[in-house]
Amino acid sequence: MPDPRGDASEEGLIGLALAASALVSSLAAPVLRRGDDGAAFPQHMFNRVVEQVVPTVVDSVDIDALLERMDVNGLLDRIDIDRLLARVDVQALIDRVDVGGLIERVDLDAVLAQVDVNALMERIDVAAIAERAQIGDLVAQSTRDVAGSTIDLVRRQLVAIDLLVLRLVQRVLKRRGAAMEAGPAELLAAPPVTARRTARAKGAQVTGRFAGAASRLTEFSIDCLAIVLSFSIAANIFVFVVRLILGVDVDTSNTDNKWWLLSYLTWALLYFWFSTALTGRTIGKWLVGVRIIEVDTTPLRTGPALVRVLVLPISIGVFGLGLVGIVIGKERRAWHDRAAGTVVVYDWGDRPAEMPAPLTRWLSRQGTMELSADGTKVEHVGAADQP
């Protein structure tokens, strides 16, 4: 229960303080006004009054009780923060701050010693940072660029061999340049790539031109390897499933069995047929950078793709005579190309198919390469070898 005497004492002190304030005000008034003779109230008398009265009043005031009775919230509500900040010269305040001295006084070792690195790392959302920075896209793009540059380097060398073989054939057969067509007229008339990609090309572009012997032999070899590997994987999976479900032990040691041979040939036929019918490419053709199209430059259809695959063994089996047209033929077509009405052209997708720059310059000096009206380089292999 509160002590009424304490409250009375505090009220008495506050009253005393108010009385002292009134006394000081009354004493200060004569100081500020002048007498009839114009003389001011003596300054030393005012100083003596202040020295005797103010300490006594201040000592008798209970500051804690005074602050408790003060409405701080009401006082703050009456302060206009915007006007107060508007009067602050921030620039002058910043200019007076000694940043160098402030940094020198900071003990960085002590600050770092108090940092909990493990807790800090746990609060960092690395996945969100990587997503916002698109790290995955950057890595993927860099990987694609490096892989694409490496593949294109090999492709350019194959194109160079194709053109050198073609030049040699022209020289041996003493054919005029017009005897060997560069490619389908529709593809040669259309811009092979966009202006940006054309500017990036360094050698003569061969996009849309008939693919030569070296490129086609390389892609066929890659496809044979792909067929062997994929058939081995598929056969092992098939045997495992049969043993697991039916409990039948399949003998895989006798690979000379006619059923294995028939299965292998069927797998090869489906490999070539499905891949060429869907995209005009096989794995080997994609890596080398060639594509199968029909003679009217339309995408390869399912029917011609099947005919091409069925005639392919004949082209190879008759002592390889069906492949001679790839080397000396006007459009570099084998028997299976003629049977299906197809041609094989260079196509590197979104990048320009091009020859190595040194070979381009050499062919230009030999008169077998010239610039067209739009500035793109086109091939006229054999033009310099006319009899």
Percent residues over pLDDT 90 in the chain: 27
User: Using CA atoms, how far apart are residues 191 and 199, in angstroms rounded to an integer?
Assistant: 13
The pLDDT confidence band at residue 267, using thresholds 50, 70 and 90, is: very high
Report the half-sphere exposure of 350 (CA within 13 A, side-chain side): 4
Residue 274 has pLDDT above 90, yes or no: yes
Residue matched to tokens 């197809």: 342
pTM for the whole structure:
0.59
The pLDDT confidence band at residue 20, using thresholds 50, 70 and 90, is: low
User: Using CA atoms, how far apart are residues 24 and 46, in angstroms rounded to an integer?
Assistant: 9
End-to-end CA distance of the chain: 130
The pLDDT confidence band at residue 28, using thresholds 50, 70 and 90, is: low
Q: Which of 114-128, 237-251, 280-294 has the highest mean pLDDT?
A: 280-294
What's the CA angle centered on 137, arms 133 and 140, to 5 degrees? 140
Residue 268 has pLDDT above 90, yes or no: yes
Check: CB of residue 379 under 8 Å from CB of residue 363.
yes
Residue 296 has pLDDT above 60, yes or no: yes
Question: In this predicted structure, what is the pLDDT of residue 343?
Answer: 96
User: Using CA atoms, how far apart are residues 21 and 17, in angstroms rounded to an integer?
Assistant: 6
**Can you give 193-257 as a three-state secondary structure string?**
CCHHHHHHCCCCECCCCECCHHHHHHHHHHHHHHHHHHHHHHHHHHHHHHHHHCCCCCCCCCCCC
Question: In this predicted structure, what is the pLDDT of residue 384?
Answer: 40
**CA distance readout (Å), 81 to 70, 74, 76, 141:** 20, 14, 9, 54
Residue predicted with more confidence, 181 or 155: 155
Check: CB of residue 188 under 8 Å from CB of residue 378.
yes
Which DSSP symbol is given to 34? B
203-231 pLDDT, tens digit per residue, is 677 888 999 999 999 999 999 999 999 99
Nearest to 215 by CA among 286, 279, 315, 308: 286
- Give the distance from CA 124 to its chain's centroid: 22
Which DSSP symbol is given to 117? H
